[in-house]
Amino acid sequence: MKTDSIIISGQVTRVINLHTLIVGGGAAGLSAALSLYDYGIHDIALVIDNPKGSTTQAAGAGIQYYYRMADYGNEGDSPYRMARDLSETNLDGDLAYTEAVHSLRAFYRLTSYGVPFPADERGEYLLQGKTNKKNARKIHIGSRTSSLIYEHLIRQVADREIPVFTSQQIIRLLTDESGEKLVGAIALNLEKMHERHQRFAVYHCRNLILACGAEGGIFYSEALSPSHAGCLGAALKIGAEAQNLTEVECGITAVRKMLVMNGPYQAAMPRYVSVDAFGKDPKEFLADIYADKLSLLYDLQHRKAGEWNLDIKKARKDGTSILDLLIHQEIRKGRHVFMDYRVNPRGYEAENKPYERLKDLSADAYRVLQEKGADPAKSAVEVAVQVRGYLGGLKVDSHFESNIQHLFPVGEAAAGLGIYAPEGACLSEAITSASAAAQYIASKKEQESGLIDSETFAALVRKPLLDCQKLAEQFLALTGQAPNPHQVSIRQMRAELGKKMDQAALVIRDTSKINNLMEIIRYMSSHLSEIVYPSARQDLALLFQIEDLLLTDLVFLSAMLGYQDRGGKSRGAYLIHDPSGILPLPQLDEAYRYGLADASVSGKIQETYLPKDSLNALNEWHEKRPVS
């Protein structure tokens, strides 16, 4: 790694030159860095905006699974079988095969780092669900699987002394004159935002692995770290294509705690209670709805422990996802929903309390809830139906390279999953995609001609850097000034934008609201510097996050409209209103009447992209490539 500088308009900016830059400090980014290092590529560095902002580090659940190819006993699994199962979720077969091939390689790399996956006395790693081969690939370490993986990965990065640039927020990606090859990136230095000559850093690299996760803040109701901010907008802006953006992973989570309420949290059978906006008028609303069928309700709740995801195919009166819709409806009414472990549900006869059952089922899950700030023996836990992950992302080939050469999206930044992710696949895909990208980069090392010359690079970075400098100066000049009537606090703007996305597209996708919101976003994106003001100079980071988020929101919403224009109906974790469809329960509003997706979208994969200098995204479709 070499460092020099460039002077643009009298301002000196540091330039860091290296073979491969990895953006992101979660499971995908750390795994990519370690894999590259172990393949002999040491001219690398990690760029992390917030060392405590990764989903891998902070996420929790009743049980967290890791999904991998089975090699336990006589399961008879293979890369082909695993790829076939992954591809059935609407994933191109060649990409699914790559993930399957790297499954065991990535898993055993984790075990070599000391990740304590459970094994028997012979050393075989124990998989759950061995009686059903499609579910015989899950393994877990209780409620902390992802955080334990993170701890071991970050320790290995430190042991290898891989350079890590913290407090660096990537705000621009740079391409060559053709726009076909990535050559670098611009970062905002979060610790030097007030110092004009150190505000930005420039990275000049041969390859960039984008492991920044999903865009944080797309929805207000997200079980992501509040400090998490991706940079998909920067990739979309340079022409990176996206796939399957309509698909999300959604379910019942603890509000503001990044905690999935699955497994023992449901199996302990707490009662569900809703209250009004003032915390009054408590109602055991699920028991009210199922007053004559309480045994069915508690059967649903018990099964929900193992079927956490909102799946519209299971949103029938005897399907577990009906619980998600009923909870979502309460919240749409302006009420708040809680899981109360202090009192048994109505009509549920038991000598012990739910919090006692939770402790018996999993002391680990009980402790995680306490560590998240909720003692189930003392207070109820507020919950909501929230987005836990994004299944779509940037389009990649079987090496996880995007249509922009030398740009490798991995983990949640990549479209490496289909409509439904097998339980634990979101976590394992972060590791396998990093492994695949690193191997491919390493295999091309001898064929590479190196970095472009410094003068050519300086010419390429000049305009993007000037634009960033100008935007920053204009925004910071407003600090301490009284806003005009047409301006809004940038902090308020981000929250309101997320709430509008909730209303238009979270569980119920509303075409009219999506169209209206897209027009609002186009205006915001075109006039951002005119309509927002900072509460403090630190809001400069939020300005660039909002700029990125607006572009990402626009492309996501365009994908949703493109899906509906093709005739797509309800599938996965979302519902599209259909007046001629079914209403699962008479107690649900008409807004929850839906029809299931049919052959118009079956076996087809949606691609979405922004033409150059345009705010009108385009959609294309291709037949899913088979596993071969």
599 and 501 in a single domain? The answer is yes
- Whether the per-residue pLDDT at 114 is higher than 60: the answer is yes
Domain boundary among 388, 415, 435: 388
Instruction: Decide if pLDDT at 522 tops 60.
Output: yes
Q: Is the pLDDT of residue 345 over 90?
A: yes
Q: Are residues 255 and 344 in the same domain?
A: yes
User: Are 100 and 133 a contacting pair, CB within 8 Å?
Assistant: no
If one compares 216 and 589, the residue with the highest pLDDT of the two is 589
Q: How confident is the model at residue 497 (pLDDT cuts 50, 70, 90)?
A: very high
pLDDT of residue 448: 73
Q: What angle do the packed helices 540-565 and 490-505 form, to 10 degrees?
A: 20
| Rounded CA separation 431/491 (Å) | 34
Over residues 580-628, the pLDDT tens digits come to 999 999 999 999 999 999 888 989 999 999 998 899 999 999 999 999 8
In this predicted structure, the answer to whether residue 228 has a pLDDT above a threshold of 80 is no
| Predicted local confidence at residue 135, as pLDDT | 52
Quick one: tokens of 153? 């990965």
Q: Are residues 337 and 474 in the same domain?
A: no
| pLDDT band at residue 131 using 50, 70 and 90 as cut-offs | very low
Q: The domain spanning residue 484 has which CATH number?
A: 1.20.58.100
Q: How confident is the model at residue 235 (pLDDT cuts 50, 70, 90)?
A: very high
CB count in 10 Å sphere of residue 116: 11
Task: Report yes or no on 8 lying in a domain.
Answer: no
Read off the DSSP letter of residue 265: H
Residue 410 has a pLDDT of 98
614, 491: one domain: yes
> Taking all residues of the chain, what is their mean pLDDT, rounded to a whole number?
93
Mean of the pLDDT values across residues 544-556?
A: 96
Give the integer Cα–Cα distance in Å for 58 and 440.
30
- Split at pLDDT 50, 70, 90, the class of 7 is confident
Q: Is residue 219 part of a domain?
A: no
pLDDT at 187: 97
- pLDDT category of residue 370 using cuts at 50, 70 and 90: very high
Tell which of 351, 367, 388 closes a domain: 388
> For residue 298, what are the domain limits?
250-388
For residue 15 the two structure tokens come to 């330039």
Both tokens assigned to 512:
């009219």
218 contacts 552 by C-beta, under 8 angstroms? yes
pLDDT at 9 over 80: no
Amino acid at 209: I
Q: What is the structure's pLDDT at 66?
A: 95
Alpha carbon distance 56, 144 (integer Å): 10
| Residue 433 falls inside a structural domain | no
- Looking at the structure, do residues 374 and 497 belong to the same domain, yes or no? no
Does 606 lie in the same domain as 487? yes
Of 7-11, 367-371, 376-380, the one with minimum mean pLDDT is 7-11
- Residue 490 belongs to some domain of the structure: yes
pLDDT(133) > 60: no
Asked if the structure places residue 281 within a domain, the reply is yes
pTM of the entire structure? 0.95
**Shared-domain flag, residues 341 and 482:** no
Give me the amino acid identity at 327: I
Specify whether 600 is located in the same domain as 473.
yes
Strand residue runs (E) in 93-247: 138-140, 164-166, 168-175, 182-189, 200-210, 242-243
The conformation of residue 314, written as its DSSP 8-state character, comes to G
Distance CA 82, CA 77 (A): 7
353 and 487 belong to one structural domain: no
What tens digit of pLDDT does each residue of 47-103 get? 999 877 677 777 788 899 999 999 887 768 999 999 999 999 899 999 999 999 999
Instruction: Flag whether 422 is in a domain.
Output: no
pLDDT at 276: 97
Specify the pLDDT at position 628: 87
Domain closes at, from 388, 404, 429: 388
Number of domains in the chain: 2
Q: Confirm if 21 and 205 have CB atoms less than 8 A apart.
A: yes
Q: Which residue has the higher pLDDT, 56 or 349?
A: 349
Residue 437 falls within a domain, yes or no? no
In a domain? residue 398:
no
Q: What is the mean pLDDT of residues 391-408?
A: 97
Q: Which residue has the higher pLDDT, 444 or 100?
A: 100
Q: Strand order in 242-243's β-sheet?
A: 393-394, 242-243, 604-609, 618-623
Maximum distance among all Cα pairs of the chain, rounded to whole angstroms: 77
> 574 and 312 in contact (C-beta within 8 Å)?
yes
What is the spatial distance between Cα 131 and Cα 73, in angstroms, rounded to a whole number? 12
